[in-house]
Amino acid sequence: MTCRREITGRKPRTTADHAKRRKVPRTDSPIVEPDPYAIEAMTRSGPSSNDWMTAPPIRGPPPPAIYSIKTFCLAHLISEAFYYDLQNKGQGPRETRIGSRVFITFESAAIWRAEREAATTAAGEAAE
């Protein structure tokens, strides 16, 4: 009884007959029928070979127009606990409420970043 090689882990034996390359039948042979679905080789349509350079870049979906608290914290590399600490101190970004959800617009985030940068610069100048 012979065992299957993939189960036993034995290497398959290659004989001289199997090692020979199989020839692809010629397409002009009367035995081979033409395939209407065969893909033909493409030729360049124009003198320029840099057509791929002029194609527009592939882009993903547009970014969302607003942040949730979680995505705001991920985008600004802060924890949600630190975000709520900033909000309690009055130093957090302006929030927009839509129904029961809380969002931060990109504009509010940009203003918040500018305020934080100005506060950091002012604190650095006062320390000198």
Q: Quick check: is 3 in a domain?
A: no
Q: Quick check: is 85 in a domain?
A: yes
Q: Quick check: is 100 in a domain?
A: yes
Domain of residue 121 covers: 66-127
**Burial of residue 76, with CB atoms counted within 10 A of its CB: 0-12 exposed, 13-18 middle, 19 or more buried:** middle
Q: Quick check: is 72 in a domain?
A: yes
List, for residues 37-64, the tens digit of each pLDDT value.
666 666 655 555 555 567 677 777 777 7
Specify the pTM.
0.51
Q: Quick check: is 80 in a domain?
A: yes
Instruction: Give the containing element (helix H, strand E) for 102.
Output: strand 101-105
- Residue 85 CA to residue 117 CA, distance in Å, equals 18
What domain count does the chain have? 1
Q: Quick check: is 95 in a domain?
A: yes
List, for residues 67-95, the tens digit of each pLDDT value.
999 999 999 999 999 999 999 999 999 99
Q: Quick check: is 41 in a domain?
A: no
Q: Are 68 and 103 in contact (CB under 8 A)?
A: yes
Q: Quick check: is 13 in a domain?
A: no
